[in-house]
Amino acid sequence: MLTAAWILALILSIGVILMIAYAHWIEPTLVQVRRYCFWHEALPEALSGTRLLIFSDLHFKGYGSVEQKKLQNIIAHSRKLPSDIQLFLGDFLHDDGGLSSVKTLLQALPPAPARLAVLGNHDYVTYDLNRVIFNLVPDMKKSGALGQRARRLARRLYEIWHLSTALALDLPLRAPTKYNDINSLQEQLQRAGVQVLHNTTWDWLDKAPDSLQFVGINDITEGDVNDPIALAPASKFRILLTHNPDGVLLQDWPGVQLVLSGHTHGGQIVLPVLGSVHSQGTHLGRKNASGWRRSNGRWLFVTCGLGESFPFRFGCRPELVQIELRRDHCPGNQRKSGWQTLDVTGNRNCSSYLSPVMSLLKPLAEGLRLRARIKK
């Protein structure tokens, strides 16, 4: 006969297995759409109503059913979202295998008057956390002198210690294994009409000449930061694009009213009560890993992104973001500048996937309660 403790252990084990399966195969594909209204009194009247469609942290590998399903969901949602400017905030790639998925996405997206991008750290370098975690035993089995094996063991143990410390203290995670083919990525973006901003500016002349300027800065971790851009105060409305939000948190940018960023994945795994497990080591910290905030007198928006640096998402669905710029106040607000959520839409939520499982677990839970009452 199963005791109450065994039944409880069985239920908890099944729950953990289901949670891991959900975080690996289901939530990464549940692309949701977040629509915001952002208003600012400095925005020229001619630009009011301009819609920005934001893609970030795709982390394409080029294989796997999860990636293919997510890719189709991104394309399906984007075709329902008209935009004036499509913005890509870096980390197109997880490794070079993702170039095929990048090409598929860019070819399938609806046309837009302008497409702009900045590059992220993963576009330059492949990070492989699996190598650090799972290669300890295989490395020890490799042939070699005792001294060589001892050095391999010491190196792997140091990497595991470094990774554990970074997770615990919310420090940047780096496990570079090889350089990506950044030139092929940029050529592919150019063919698709995407203007990549490397520490430079781009003026949008379609609606109101000389009134809206985008500033793009290179990734501060892996990109070239030896060619900084100097901005002078100007009458233009400036939007700064940066993959890593630390690019603006650690430096002043005069004349910038709005900053758009990614990199954090919103924490990627967000637990009840505890919050984000890791913010990719940014100065935002775990509590501010995504969303809107004021920074140095300007607005900063950090998206949760669409992909994963490791193959799990929990409590933080991938998101496609549309921001509508307005000069006047969004409904119900009277401040000089600010933001407001218009709506959040997407695929079925997690409860619709877990409800059949919960219906199977319910008899086990009832049996556990009945056994406890009989013992009393």
Residues 145-166 have pLDDT tens digits of 777 778 877 877 877 787 778 7
pLDDT of residue 1: 57
pLDDT of residue 350: 40
> 179 pLDDT exceeds 70?
yes
Q: Which two tokens stand for residue 18?
A: 């289901």
> 325 pLDDT exceeds 80?
yes
Q: Which two tokens stand for residue 110?
A: 């609806």
pLDDT of residue 361: 46
Distance CA 326, CA 194 (A): 25
One-character DSSP codes across 261-311: E-SSGGGSBEETTTEES--TT-TT-GGGSSEEEEETTEEEEE---S--SSS
Q: Which two tokens stand for residue 212?
A: 């809206």
Distance CA 222, CA 175 (A): 12
> 353 pLDDT exceeds 60?
no
Q: Answer whether 147's CB lies under 8 Å from 160's CB.
A: no
Share of the chain above pLDDT 90, in %: 48
Query: Three-class SS of residue 339?
Result: strand
Alpha-helix runs per DSSP H in the chain = 4-21, 65-78, 99-108, 121-124, 129-134, 136-141, 146-169, 182-191, 246-249, 350-375
User: CB under 8 Å to 252, separation ≥6 — which residues?
Assistant: 296
Average pLDDT over residues 48-54: 95
DSSP letter (8 states) at residue 113: S
The predicted-structure confidence for 180-192, as pLDDT tens digits, reads as follows: 999 999 999 999 9
Every domain of the chain and the residues it spans: 1-30+348-376, 32-124+180-347, 129-174
Where is pLDDT greater, at 335 or 52? 52
> 227 pLDDT exceeds 50?
yes
CATH code 3.60.21.10 for 32-124+180-347: yes
Q: CA geometry: angle at 345 spanning 342 and 32, to 5°?
A: 115
* The pairing of beta strand 125-127 with beta strand 291-295: unpaired
Distance CA 11, CA 365 (A): 8
Average pLDDT over residues 343-348: 58
Question: Taking all residues of the chain, what is their mean pLDDT, rounded to a whole number?
Answer: 83
pLDDT of residue 205: 80
The predicted-structure confidence for 279-288, as pLDDT tens digits, reads as follows: 887 788 888 8
Q: Residue 8: pLDDT band by 50, 70, 90 thresholds?
A: confident
Q: Residue 334: pLDDT band by 50, 70, 90 thresholds?
A: low
